[in-house]
Amino acid sequence: MQFMDAMKILSGERQLPPKYNAALGENRHCEGKRKLLLPERSETNLEVIRYLSGRGIDREIIKDCIDEGLLYESLPYHNCIFVGFDETGKAAYACYRATNGERLMGDAAGSDKRYAFRINRASSTLHVFESAIDLLSYATIMKMRTGEWRSEPMVSLGGVYAPNPD
């Protein structure tokens, strides 16, 4: 679903379309399934740790994300790769961010934004962020304030995009 369509549904301006149309025999969630193409992993995550800690992200949070498979360093460019998983635990989304100072970012081919980068799934409160680094920054602030950063779920939209209305 496009971002603007989702916002209209959340605001009540539009209704959520049905997942399955029995009359047409179609399931729109099965249309156009693409395979996620994850970048190759580096043997280390040194550049990712250097880059994110240089941005002020807590090292324990970085390490926990790496250990959980949510974050890794790619080859050959050593970008940060932020991974999102589906209900079965399979990687279904990935976005990247350059670690070399260039403003290079985007989604991996085949990414499904329904499974964006997120941490801490269960709670009644959800914190929503534009980017994965914004999410990690907030987690760092929560850890600094309370010592706890895993108590509430956080999700990154993977960049906010509004298409040209023309």
Using CA atoms, how far apart are residues 93 and 87, in angstroms rounded to an integer? 12
**Per-residue model confidence (pLDDT) at position 125:** 83
**Per-residue model confidence (pLDDT) at position 138:** 96
**Per-residue model confidence (pLDDT) at position 158:** 81
Low-confidence ranges of the chain (pLDDT < 50): 20-31, 166
**How far from 61 is each of 98, 138, 151, CA to CA, in Å?**
19, 11, 13
**Per-residue model confidence (pLDDT) at position 19:** 52
- Look up residue 74 and give its DSSP letter: B
**Per-residue model confidence (pLDDT) at position 2:** 74
Using CA atoms, how far apart are residues 52 and 56, in angstroms rounded to an integer? 7
Question: What global pTM score does this model have?
Answer: 0.76
**Per-residue model confidence (pLDDT) at position 28:** 46
**Per-residue model confidence (pLDDT) at position 152:** 86
**Per-residue model confidence (pLDDT) at position 102:** 87
**Per-residue model confidence (pLDDT) at position 1:** 66
**Per-residue model confidence (pLDDT) at position 38:** 95
80 pairs with which residues across the strands?
73, 97
**How far from 16 is each of 81, 93, 99, CA to CA, in Å?**
31, 23, 38
